Amino acid sequence: METKTKEAGRISITGISIAGIPIVRISIALIWGLAAIIGMIQIFKPKAVEVAVAALEKRNLADSISVTGKIESEEIYETVLSSSQKVIKRYKNIGDDVKAGDILVTLDTEDLEYQLNKAVLSLDTLKTSTGNAKAQASINLDTAKNSYALAGKAYQNIKALYDTGAASKDDLDQADNALKLAESQVKLAEIQYNNLNLNSSGSDVQKQMERLNLDIQNLNRKIAESTIKSPISGTLTLLDARENQYPSRSQGQVQVLDLSRLIVKADVSQYDAVLLNPGQKASVKVKGLGETLTGRITSISDVSNTTAGSSTEPKYEVQISLDDSKKDIKADYDVDVNISIKEKTDIPAADSRAVQAEDDRKFVFIAADGKAVKKYIKTGLETDLYIEILEGLSVGDRYITTPPDGLKEGDRVSPTD
């Protein structure tokens, strides 16, 4: 019902009710109810997830293999001094620079020279005795041939006299016997001469001469090698010897390294070896120095350095030449090596954490109208940090770089740079 009061030209509404309930009271109740509903919606409504967003940029990418290795000299000279020869003189000390041909140390050769002289004398004596026997056999053969010639002439003379009756049959028989005897002497001398020549080439005497010649060659070589010379230029890094002392069996090492030409040697698995080729770039980080050097692969071994039958995974040695050797880098330093397999420059690349897969399709999330939206893409070269984007995003497009676990399309997101 509505009650109107007319007073001095005004009408005032003193109350409107529905079923006895004033309308004003109903409106207030509705307002409070709506406010409660709105409050509950806000309480249970998911909050927007903060996500990092960045623009797609162009980058230089390189797929690589990471291995560990050691610094070595490209050119090394190593030898071990004989423990049976006393050191006479040291000419260089560890750390000294040496040139190819420089004498490092000399060893005592007195015993070697004695053995050499003895072997030379034995050989000369054997040659002399053998030569004398050959000479005598030759003289005997010549004498037998001369006697045979004289016997032949005597026989001819007796036969001529016999034919004229001036010589008897006995004289002819004697001359014939003498000729036959001289002929047999020639044959015997020839056999002796030939046997001596044959035996001198295949007998024990000849073998003894060959052994003596070999001994003489070895002794001359040892005497020459007793003057230790460096065949390369570099730095003397090891010389374990003292003057007037004999090197022990565990000592006597000599080493010269060309520290101006350093290389890296590293072992790689078979799966990595098939991806490598000479000329591929490599970055080398020296452990403890924090300095990265550059280089290129020079060789990959064709044969595994793992023992046959071993249960260890086969490894193949890779050698890397360094573009620039630093003075503070030494041989045997441990290094971390990163070998580039593929390289692409100035290409669109997204953060690898942003790229996800779904049913063999790859996508990234973008933020659109406060919600996460899938953007399907095609990718190319992949590295640990970045992935090449071939299709689906353009340079400058913004995408979610590190989507949280469980993020779904349509989820509310709050982008942050």
Residue 308 has a pLDDT of 62
pLDDT at 58: 95
Q: Please enumerate in sequence order all residues whose Cβ is within 8 A of that of 47, keeping only pairs 6 or more positions apart, or say none.
A: 412
Question: What tokens does 372 get?
Answer: 């996460």
Residue 151 confidence (pLDDT): 85
Question: In the prediction, which pLDDT does 3 show?
Answer: 47
For residue range 333-389, list pLDDT tens digits in order.
899 998 988 888 999 999 999 999 998 899 999 999 999 999 999 999 988 899 999
| Domain 75-108+226-256 top-level CATH class | mainly beta
Domain positions in the chain are: 2-44, 50-60+344-416, 65-72+257-343, 75-108+226-256, 111-223
- Residues of the chain where predicted confidence (pLDDT) is lower than 70: 1-46, 196-203, 307-311, 325-327
Count of CA atoms in the C-beta half-sphere (13 A) of 124: 6
Q: 65-72+257-343: what fold?
A: Elongation Factor Tu (Ef-tu); domain 3 (2.40.30)
Fold classification of 50-60+344-416 is: 2.40.420
Same CATH topology for 65-72+257-343 and 75-108+226-256: the answer is no
